[in-house]
């Protein structure tokens, strides 16, 4: 981490709804909250369009491009310089997901961001998240942020939460 005496890691989430047009909200969020890691959903950035993302002083941008011609999608992170984080490659799923392994003093934290397009079923999304959490089970801590487009008041959701191998209840 940039400051080893620092006792916390500030993590945030922004549903950007296009990084090439949602620049103001992004920059205001960074100035106001000063996160160490900002997860980004709906970047709308395709492969090769990284130059459309605003350059932010003291942060590096990593992302997983949206696929196909559909509108929306794409996920990423802005990571403050000095934070030791690496992308963890996981099998491709129906969700837009990106996972990091972040080195903390004496521990490793998994941080993921996920976006579920409404075309992906809730059950498939829960299965995909559960698989990803299980694959990150070697980490000491886990944090998932995202926009899953799920109405938790809908009675069609599974009645019992699904438990991952490491004991995390998912819905």
pTM of the full structure: 0.84
The DSSP secondary structure of the chain, one letter per residue, reads ---TT-----EEEEE-S-TTT-HHHHHHHHHHH--SEEEEE---PPTT-GGGSPP-TTEEEEEE---SS-SS--EEEEEETT--EEEEP----SSEEEEEEEEETTEEEEEEEEE--TTS-HHHHHHHHHHHHHHTTTSSEEEEEEE----TT-TTS-SSPEEPTTS-EE-
Domains, the chain, ordered by start: 11-165 (3.60.10.10)
Position 107 scores a pLDDT of 96
Write out pLDDT tens, residues 147-170: 988 877 775 665 555 555 555 555
Position 159 scores a pLDDT of 55
Average pLDDT of the chain to the nearest whole number: 85
pLDDT of 40 over the 70 cut: yes
């Amino acid at each position: 981490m940039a400051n080893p005496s620092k006792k916390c890691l500030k993590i945030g989430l922004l549903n950007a709804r296009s990084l090439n047009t949602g620049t103001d909200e992004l920059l205001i969020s960074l100035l106001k909250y000063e996160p160490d890691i900002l997860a980004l959903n709906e970047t709308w950035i395709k492969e090769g369009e990284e130059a459309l993302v605003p350059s932010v002083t003291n942060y590096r941008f990593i992302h997983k491009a949206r696929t196909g011609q559909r509108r929306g999608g794409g996920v990423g992170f802005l990571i403050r310089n000095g934070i030791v984080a690496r992308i963890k490659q996981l099998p491709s799923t129906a969700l837009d997901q990106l996972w990091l392994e972040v080195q903390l003093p004496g521990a490793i934290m998994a941080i993921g961001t996920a976006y579920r397009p409404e075309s992906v079923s809730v059950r498939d999304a829960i299965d995909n998240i559960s698989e990803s959490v299980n694959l990150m089970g070697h980490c000491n801590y886990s944090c998932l942020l995202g926009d899953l487009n799920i109405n938790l008041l809908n009675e069609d959701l599974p009645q019992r939460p699904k438990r991952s191998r490491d004991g995390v209840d998912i819905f």
